[in-house]
Amino acid sequence: MKSEHDIEALRYGYAIGKTMADKILVLNGPVLNMLGVRQPKIYGRETLAQVEADCRKLARRLGVSLDFRQSNHEGELVDWILKARGKVSCLVINAAAYTHTSVAILDAILASEVPTIEVHISHILKREPFRQRSFVSEAAVGLISGFGTFGYQLAIEAAARMAARAS
Ligand code: DQA
């Protein structure tokens, strides 16, 4: 017999056995595909593939499923955020340069109603004035910034705890 959760899963199109509460979407904005070679003094030597592998390992340990993506295109990020509505329990986003410019990404997060954790590898509040303004922060539950790529692990841990509390 199908549980109430299974019926809800069918209705909302997420996999049976995996509640929405299990799903974390990690989005990465422009130029983060160049991690490892891009300004290593600021962003470190780890590649995005290594960051993803570490996130996957942690997600497995925490029993949550993970969708990890990167795009250099604002519209693609907006589409992914909107598609997450009702399907994802938590969005972890490093919107990179779009953090400081994109009302579209802010609006998408607000429209998605997905609890959002903002991540930055560098400590944006200690950097140039134009990086100290974040549109994402207007919608985010919290901000993790300045811990290097380890910040992604902190965000996933926080996302998993938030999801567990909500379910
Ligand atoms: C960044 C900070 C942004 O200012 C910058 O444009 C990035 C990366 C970070 O992770 O520290 O691309 O989001």
- Residue 1's pLDDT is 45
Number of domains in the chain: 1
Domain that holds residue 93: 4-166
**Which residue of the set 14, 43, 98, 152 is catalytic?**
43
Q: What φ, ψ does residue 60 adopt, rounded to 5°?
A: -60, -45
pLDDT score at 21:
57
Q: What is the pLDDT of residue 20?
A: 55
Q: Are 112 and 91 in contact (CB under 8 A)?
A: yes
Ligand 1, atom 7: nearest CA belongs to which residue? 96
Active site residue 120: yes
Structure-token pair, residue 37: 């070679």
Contact 64/24 with Cβ under 8 angstroms?
A: yes
Q: Which CATH number covers residue 86? A: 3.40.50.9100
Model confidence pLDDT, tens digit, residues 123-140 = 999 999 999 999 999 999
Listing DSSP states for 43-98 in one string gives: H-S--HHHHHHHHHHHHHHHT-EEEEEE-S-HHHHHHHHHHTTTT-SEEEEE-GGG
Q: Which residues of the chain have pLDDT under 70?
A: 1-21
